[in-house]
Amino acid sequence: MSYQVTIQPSGHSFTVASGETVLSAAIEAGINLPYGCRNGACGACKGQVLSGEVLCEQHQYGAISAEEKLDGKTLFCCALPQSDLVIECREISDSKSVRPRIMPARVQRMEKLSHDVMKLSLKLPSNERMQFMAGQYVEFLLKDGKRRAFSLANAPHDDALLELHLRLVQGGQFTQYVFNEMQEKAILRIEGPFGSFYLREESDKPMLMVAGGTGFAPIKGIIEHALHHQTGRRILLYWGARTREDLYMHDLPQRWQEAHPNLTYIPVLSDPLPQDGWDGRTGLVHQAVLADHADLSAYEVYCCGAPGMVEAAHAEFSAQGLPEGAFYSDAFTFATPVPAK
């Protein structure tokens, strides 16, 4: 059995399967209701039931009072519909609606994806979840007061762990620590989410995803979000790197392409090695886009990588017809390296 939930004042609706919470079904349907923990601890998902009945699973007492329940309020992360519902709550439509928070994070897994790229999987405390939009980033708060920013590589529906791709920067204090000293189970402090690099879901234009190096991380999150919600939009992913090894998750976009007819993957190497045996595209990734598309007026571009690549892409794509306001970017910058002793 399933139930229909309608949200006021937006009028958006979605279906909740038997045994599923309102919040889980909303996330699955691509509707962003506010939340902070997803397990009845914080009260961030509290809203009004205007009509219908819910069964509220176990939660912490401080998250919602008995008086609020009598007044028709519930915690949507714990609410199991017993009938069709009409509810009243706020919806999150852009990055400004998501409030950054400081929280501890445990290093659950470390996986070396290449000689200089590390995948970190971070787990928040059991009563916390980070609400974010695909493509946003978090900042590590270091003991010396400095911060280091890294993009989230997972999509919001898959938020049990936070996935980050860190490239080793020579002389970079934090990444040197991650690669050479940090161990699994280490506790770090992070703040997030931040950033305006996220999927504009109201558009139906084909999307050019242009990634340089670990700029693939937020692009990955955006694409997985779009595919999860079965977008019919055309997605063209151009991923540029120096050598074959630098395409550190090459198999993943290949699988996307095989499974989704609306997605095309074009890897581009700027300096392939003889041992790479590379017979694919070569050169600069943004120039590969220009070579393939004489007129960019019908597209939206999501571009992430080194500042020079992002700046060149913006200027040259605009000259080739990309409309103003159709270029969304996140340029990676690096902290000043620590001088070698």
State pLDDT tens for residues 247-276.
Answer: 999 999 999 999 999 999 999 999 999 999
Residue 171 pLDDT: 86
Instruction: Name the fold adopted by 207-331.
Output: Rossmann fold (3.40.50)
Q: What is the dihedral of CA 158, 327, 101, 148, to 10 degrees?
A: 100
Average pLDDT of the segment spanning 14-18: 93
Cα 313 to Cα 303: distance, rounded to the nearest angstrom: 8
Average pLDDT of the residues of the chain = 91
CA 290 to chain centre: 27
Q: Specify the pLDDT at position 332.
A: 75
* Residues 225, 134 contacting (CB under 8 angstroms): yes
Which pLDDT band holds residue 334 (cuts at 50, 70, 90)? Answer: low
Asked if residues 66 and 124 have their Cβ atoms less than 8 Å apart, the reply is: no
CATH 2.40.30.10 matches 96-194: yes
- 145's CB contacts (< 8 A; 6+ apart) are none
CA 131 vs. chain centroid, Å, equals 10
Q: Is the pLDDT assigned to residue 336 strictly greater than 50?
A: no
Let me know: does 248 contact 113? Beta carbons within 8 Å.
yes
Which of 39-43, 164-168, 291-295 has the lowest average pLDDT? 39-43
Q: pLDDT for 84-98, tens place per residue?
A: 999 998 887 665 667
Q: Is residue 339's pLDDT more than 60? A: no
Q: List pLDDT tens digits, range 294-310.
A: 999 999 999 999 989 99
Strands in the chain per DSSP E: 2-8, 13-17, 46-51, 54-56, 73-75, 79-81, 85-88, 101-114, 117-123, 137-141, 147-151, 162-167, 187-194, 207-212, 235-241, 263-269, 281-282, 300-305, 327-331
Residue 235 has which token pair? Answer: 């997605």
Domain ranges of the chain: 2-88, 96-194, 207-331
Cα distance between residue 61 and residue 55, in whole Å: 16
* pLDDT tens by residue, 112-144: 999 999 999 999 998 888 989 999 999 999 998
Cβ atoms of 239 and 253 closer than 8 Å: yes
Digit-coded pLDDT (tens) for 161-220: 999 999 999 888 999 999 999 999 999 999 999 888 989 888 999 999 999 999 999 999
Report residue 254: phi and psi, to 5°.
-65, -40
Instruction: Please give the class, per CATH, of domain 2-88.
Output: alpha beta
Task: Identify the DSSP state of 158.
Answer: S
CB 29 within 8 A of CB 56: no
pLDDT for the residue numbered 340: 46
pLDDT of residue 116: 96
Whether 331 shows a pLDDT value over 90: the answer reads no
Query: 16 with 82: CB under 8 angstroms?
Result: no
The predicted structure's pLDDT at residue 85: 96
Identify the pLDDT of residue 150: 95
Q: What local confidence, expressed as pLDDT, does residue 97 receive?
A: 67
Nearest to 156 by CA among 23, 58, 47, 262: 23
What's the mean pLDDT in 26-54? 84
Query: How many Cβ atoms are within 10 Å of 310's Cβ, its own excluded?
Result: 21
- Helix (H) or strand (E) run with residue 307 in it: helix 307-319
pLDDT exceeds 70 at position 337: no
Decide if pLDDT at 68 tops 50: yes
